[in-house]
Structure 1
């Protein structure tokens, strides 16, 4: 009977601990959001931006930022590379 009680309590503890792990991981890495022209941006602080390569074509870029509520976001967007000449 004691063994059954110990087994039941340990399974409840393990289940409770397992439920907490994914929420901590999700808070550390925000989901990547795709930019569209209708996207409302609330950028209070830019944390990092990818550097545009020296190519003459549209390239994918990423920007990580904090909004006015302190939440982090990663935004994926497209821009023209730095390799085009004007002449």
Structure 2
């Protein structure tokens, strides 16, 4: 069964450019994962530091693979201090 994840991220103003650089690589790598239908990043029109990841996977196994991948854990480590609040993550 298809799985969708929406992750809302708030980035500190001083870190936006670096976050975008890291997020672009994350999007590219994630889109190449087996079972990933789409992995996209959106920037809020009125807030430079507000982002939304939109992720679709073929099934829960693909989500599990993504969540345990080295590139995902490296991304979390790299951007952790850039966030101004806890991400809001919704699973469908």
TM-score (norm 1): 0.24
Instruction: Give the number of the structure whose residues are more often helix, by fraction.
Output: 2
State the structure with bigger RCO (CA 8 A, min sep 6), 1 or 2: 2
